[in-house]
Each structure stands twice: as structure tokens, then as C-alpha cells.
Amino acid sequence: MTATIEASGVVKRFGKTVALNGLDLVAEHGEILAVLGPNGAGKTTFVRSVATLIRPDEGTLHVFGHDVLRDPGIVRQTIGLAGQFAAIEPAMSGRENLEMVARLFGQSRRSARASTAKVLEQMGLTEAADRLARTYSGGMRRKLDLGASLVGSPKLLLLDEPTTGLDPRSRIELWDAIRSLVDEGTDVLLTTQYLDEADRLASRMVVIDHGKTIATGTPAELKQSAGRSVIEVLVRERDDLAEVAKVLSQVNGGQPQIDESTRRVWLSVEGGIELLGTALKHLETLDIALDDVALRQPKLDEVFLALTGQALEEEPEKARKGHGAA
Amino acid sequence: MATATATISANKASLLSSTTVIARRTFLKFIRTPQLVVVGTVQGAMFLLIFRYVFGGAITAGGVSYVNFLVPGFITTGIIWQGMMSAAGIAEDHDQGFFDRLRSLPIPRAAVLTGRALADTGTQIWGLTIMTLIGFAVGFRLGGSVPAAIFAFALIIVFSFAFEWVFITLGLYAGNAQAAQGMSLMLIPFTFVSSAFVPVQSMPGPLRAVAAHQPVTYMIDAVRTLVLGTNGGVSLGHTASYFVVRALLWSAALVAVFGTIAVNRYRKG
């Protein structure tokens, strides 16, 4: 079976900026592949290349075996795109928006109506279907936008940061919607800078940084790569963080990480419970108030830090525009 | 889904149907956004009244009354004032991801812009009609035949379609709606340095040369000679057909040049 997406050595430059620097990636049929990376890593550029919106300068990029450069028309018939902005018409109802896109996919009026009704149901928008989209909440707009990318029954759905700027409840609803698609046989490529999103949604992840693939695997595999477990200490006073880190470094000679904002110090360790014992002994020698000491599985942000030497933002630093489109 | 695989070869909208679908969206947006309808209309009416009653007394227009001279020119140049909204709308679609969605769909590249140009031209007919009615209300009278006047009205629609492509091009290059509006303002001199509000003969030499030969003047004079007729006392020195042919050639040139630039730009994203 042909891979859903096969990218090999993809390079894209914008003037002097190299957005993709020899990116390799394979997405298989039946999976949700998450492309994870910090801002500016090249996630959006890659999605836009797959969507035939921009043309890679070098390398090869195939979607269901079709070259995006040679056969963009065929590729467009197989994909649905939901970009970072909700690309819907606020002056049209949800139903009208979806029917418009279905018609543009070449469906007859009748089948456009049918597929619209189905997608509205799927997105939980049936009740609001005949209201103008300008009256929708941010979460509903995103759902409508996702619906618009689905209404043409694409074989591959491209989602560029689908939940950025959404409140937690809307995010979870959108995740459910995305998951149900895969059950119906649609392949999904999504980009995200939220680790929990990749963790909960993706069957496989590709971590990219500076336009290159730096790691790939299931969430569990990637977590393993950061060491088997983590000793985490929650310190009461922020001023004591450095001291605790110094002591922890004696446990296995590793470099503990400090998170000032949450007052945490953590250390990746290969061993298990016996190293926790050692750590506790070292910590007892200090006269420092601790709120918690724990041994746990590594989290993806620690994996990311281990891979790139750079923290991945948990929350975007500023709210993005684009909840509404023209 | 089995259906997705089965229908894949049919997954392609024709130029005609995709153009219609896009045009419908633009049209719905217009009629469902009262600000667009009302503001455009009120602005036009206001300026028509200002020219008619404030400047009108001070301007002599040769052999015709100023209201008869003004109204054809005002209505024709109205296409440029109204076109600014198209530039802003296009820039918005470009800027906010709507075009990305459309460009990822299996539709002919020309459909999106053609649909837009047709719909925007269609919505201009509304403003055009209102201005015409106000024109009659403030004293404008036909000097030629009614069929000639209807032909003139149709010509304005053609000119409007031609200028649409200029505004679409500006909108695509502008980056955002505000910049698009700013860039569109650069076209405003074409409305003033023309025969719209004063006879070009009243302008100093070099300016007169520009005013007399730029496309908007040909369009205005084509309309003017048609609605005022030769008996209307309009002394433009040529028959209606002279101006009509030149105005239509200019329109074709605008569509060819700006249509090509715009579609290429759209294709690249």
C-alpha cells in the first residue's frame, strides 16, 4: 500500500530563510500523525506544501503516490485542509458554508446537501446549522472549519494547529471529532505545539525543528528516549530551586532541569525506585521545605527539551488572530 | 470511506459551477452585511448632492446645465469609489486563510477571481441604480433616446467589470484590507483628472492632456454622449460611437492586463 504522505529531503526557502531544510517524513494509512515543533520549526510550511499551496524547492513530496509538483490537481482531490485561521464565511450559515465547499469539490447540489447534513451531525452543529456563522463562538467556528475540510470526503485531512486559541472544552470536543474521523478511514496529519494534543490524539509523532525531522515514533517511544523515568521535586520557595538542583545532580551525574514558574526541579534517570531512595537521602541533608517528591514517567515536554535543547511552549505567548475570517 | 475512493475521478468542479458558487458567496456577503449596502449608498448620495448643490453653482459646463453634465460623470466614476470595497474584500480573503482553503480545492484557478469580479460587478448595479434615480430626482433629464440610455447603463456595468480586475489585483498585492484601501485611493485621481466633474478644457495644458486621454474620460464621455444625445447640446467634438469604441478597448485592455496579473498572483498564493 502506498504511503499517505512520503516526504524526502524537502527544502523550502523564503528569500534567505530556510523554512524546510531537508525534511523527511512518512505518514502511513490509518494513522493520525502529529507534527510537533516550536514556532518557526516549519510545521505550517510543510502542511502548505502537502496542500499544494506552495511548491517545495528541492526534494520529493508524494501524497498517495502523487507528486505534489507534477500532479497538484490530483492531490487536491484527495485532501481537505483546515488552516490556522477559520476559513469560513461569517455572512453565510453553517449549512451554506459547507454546501459551498461541497459544491466546489464537484458534488451535485443533491449530494452536497447530503454530505453537508452528515458533516453537521458529525460536528454537532446541526442545531446551529441555519444560523449565520458570524453568530458562532470560536469553538463552533473551528468545528465548522474542520467540517468544511471534511465535506468533500477527503482521504487525507490536513490540520494546521487545529485547536490553537480554543478553550479547553472546545479543544476536547474537537479532539473527539478528529478521532472519530480516523475511525471512518480518513488519514490525518496535524501540526501542534501542544504536547498533550499530540499525546492524546496521535498514533505517531514526528518532531521537527529548524525545518528538519529530529525524532519520530509513537508517543510512548519518544518518552522512552528521554530516559525511563523522572524524579521530580516540588520546592516550596523559589529561591531554593538552584540548591535542590545541585543536590539532585549528585544522584546520577545528570543535569537536572529547573522550571521557575512551577517551582519544579526534575531529573531524568535510567533506574527506578532505588534512585529515588538515593535522591531522598541527598535531599534530607538539606534544610529546605519540599512540597512533593515523585518518581514518574517523562512528559513530552521533557522529551522535547532533551531532543532540541529548547522548551516547547505549553501555551502560545499571544492569542492568535483568525478566529473569524472574512 | 468507500465512496471517497469511488468518486475520486469525479471530484472536480467545472469552471462554470465553481465560478457561480464563488459569486454566490460574495453576493450573499454583500446583501447580508447592511453596512456595506447602506454606507456605500449613503456616501454616493451625499457626494452627488454636494457636487450638484455646493460646487454646481460655480462650475460652468459649456452648453449643458451642470446637473446634466455632472450626473453621467458622477455615476460612471462611482465604479471606482465602489471598487475600493472589492480590493479590501479580496485582501481580507487572502490575508485570513479563505483563499488557502479555495486554493486547496480541485477547482480551476481562474474561477475564484472571476466569480468575485462578477459578483462585485453585480452588487454595483444596486448602487448604480440608486445613483441614477437620485440623479433624476435632482434635475437630470435625458437628452437622447431611452434605448441609448439603457445601452449607457449597460456600458457602465462593463466598465465596472473591467475596473474590478484592477481592484482585485490591488487587493491581492496589498496584504491586508487597510493597505488595500490605501492603495485603492491612488486610483481616485483618475476620477478627478477626468471629464467627470469639470470639462477637461478648463484644466491647464499638461493636466488636460492626461485627463482627455485616460480611460475613465473615454468611459464618461461615452456615457455622456449616449444619455445627452447630440441635441442635448453636449459639445465633446465626437459622436457617441467614437467614445464607446475607445472605452470598450480600454476595458478589454484592463481585463487582459490586470486579469493576467491577478490570476498569476492568486496561483502563487
DSSP string, A45-90: HHHHHHTTSS--SEEEEEETTEETTT-HHHHHHHEEEE-SS----T
More confident residue, A1 or A189: A189
Distance from first CA to last CA of chain B, Å, rounded? 31
More confident residue, A162 or A131: A131
Q: Most A CBs within 10 Å: which of B14, B35, B103, B104, as the mutation test of the A interface? A: B104
The reported pLDDT for the residue numbered A69 is: 92
Which tens digit of pLDDT belongs to each residue from A98-124?
Answer: 999 999 988 999 999 999 999 999 888
Instruction: Work out the average pLDDT over A211-224.
Output: 84
Give DSSP secondary structure letters for A100-135: HHHHHTT--HHHHHHHHHHHHHHTT-TTTTTSBGGG
Q: Sorting pLDDT into bands at 50, 70 and 90, what band is B230?
A: low
The reported pLDDT for the residue numbered B7 is: 40
Q: Which residue of A has its CA nearest to B22?
A: A100
| Distance separating alpha carbons of residues B125 and A75, to the nearest angstrom | 39
Q: Sorting pLDDT into bands at 50, 70 and 90, what band is A320?
A: very low
Test B97 with A86 for CB contact under 8 angstroms: yes
Helix (H, G, I), strand (E, B) or coil at A207: strand
Q: Which residue of B has its CA nearest to A321?
A: B96
| Distance separating alpha carbons of residues A195 and A199, to the nearest angstrom | 6
φ/ψ region of B125 (left if φ > 0, alpha if ψ in -120 to 50, else beta) reads: alpha
Q: Sorting pLDDT into bands at 50, 70 and 90, what band is A256?
A: confident
Q: Are A107 and B3 in contact (CB under 8 A)?
A: no
Q: Sorting pLDDT into bands at 50, 70 and 90, what band is A316?
A: very low
**Res B237 pLDDT > 50:** yes
Residues β-bridged to residue A230: A268, A296
Complex ipTM: 0.83
| Distance separating alpha carbons of residues A191 and A47, to the nearest angstrom | 8
A100 near B CB under 8 A: yes
Alpha-carbon distances of B159 from A310, B219, B221, B255, rounded to whole Å:
57, 7, 13, 10
More confident residue, A9 or A296: A9
Test A132 with B5 for CB contact under 8 angstroms: no
- Portion of chain B with pLDDT greater than 90, in percent: 41
Query: Whose CA is closest to A57, among A5, A20, A24, A26?
Result: A20
Test B96 with A326 for CB contact under 8 angstroms: yes
The reported pLDDT for the residue numbered B61 is: 77
A200 near B CB under 8 A: no
| Distance separating alpha carbons of residues A255 and A309, to the nearest angstrom | 12
| Distance separating alpha carbons of residues A316 and A293, to the nearest angstrom | 29
For residue A78, the chain B residues in CB contact (below 8 A) are 8
A47 near B CB under 8 A: no
Test A155 with B269 for CB contact under 8 angstroms: no
> How many CA atoms, within 13 angstroms, populate the side-chain half-sphere of residue B100?
28
Test B29 with A155 for CB contact under 8 angstroms: no
Q: Sorting pLDDT into bands at 50, 70 and 90, what band is B235?
A: low
Could you tell me whether strands A229-235 and A290-296 are parallel, antiparallel, or unpaired per DSSP bridges?
antiparallel
The reported pLDDT for the residue numbered A20 is: 92
The 10 Å Cβ neighbour count of residue B151 is 17
| Distance separating alpha carbons of residues B32 and B220, to the nearest angstrom | 31
The model's pTM is: 0.81
How far apart are the CA of A182 and the nearest CA of chain B, in angstroms?
Answer: 10
Average pLDDT of every residue of chain B: 87
| Distance separating alpha carbons of residues A194 and A176, to the nearest angstrom | 16
Q: Sorting pLDDT into bands at 50, 70 and 90, what band is B216?
A: very high
* Cell numbers at A32, concatenated: 493520525
User: Which residues fall within 8 angstroms of residue A45, CB to CB, at 6 or more apart?
Assistant: A12, A19, A20, A54, A211
Q: Sorting pLDDT into bands at 50, 70 and 90, what band is B6?
A: very low
Helix (H, G, I), strand (E, B) or coil at B113: helix
A175 near B CB under 8 A: no
The reported pLDDT for the residue numbered B173 is: 93
How far apart are the CA of A76 and the nearest CA of chain B, in angstroms?
Answer: 5
Helix (H, G, I), strand (E, B) or coil at B141: coil
Test A52 with B32 for CB contact under 8 angstroms: no
Query: Whose CA is closest to B210, among B200, B198, B222?
Result: B200
Lowest model confidence (mean pLDDT) among A186-200, A216-230, A248-262, B14-28: A216-230
Q: Which residues of B touch A (CB under 8 A)?
A: 1, 3-5, 7-8, 10-14, 17-18, 21-22, 24-25, 28-29, 32-33, 89, 92-93, 95-98, 100-107, 269
Helix (H, G, I), strand (E, B) or coil at A18: strand
Please report how the helices A138-150 and A109-122 are oriented relative to each other, as an axis angle in degrees rounded to 10: 140
Q: Most B CBs within 10 Å: which of A50, A52, A77, A145, as the mutation test of the B interface? A: A77
Element of type H or E holding B211 = helix B205-213
Lowest model confidence (mean pLDDT) among A57-66, A234-243, A263-272, B76-85: A263-272
Instruction: Work out the average pLDDT over A285-294.
Output: 82
A152 near B CB under 8 A: yes
Which tens digit of pLDDT belongs to each residue from B196-212?
Answer: 888 888 888 898 899 88
Test A326 with B28 for CB contact under 8 angstroms: no
* Most confident region among A111-120, A211-220, B222-231 by mean pLDDT: A111-120
**Res A96 pLDDT > 50:** yes
The reported pLDDT for the residue numbered A310 is: 63
The reported pLDDT for the residue numbered B95 is: 87
Average pLDDT of every residue of chain A: 84
The reported pLDDT for the residue numbered A314 is: 43
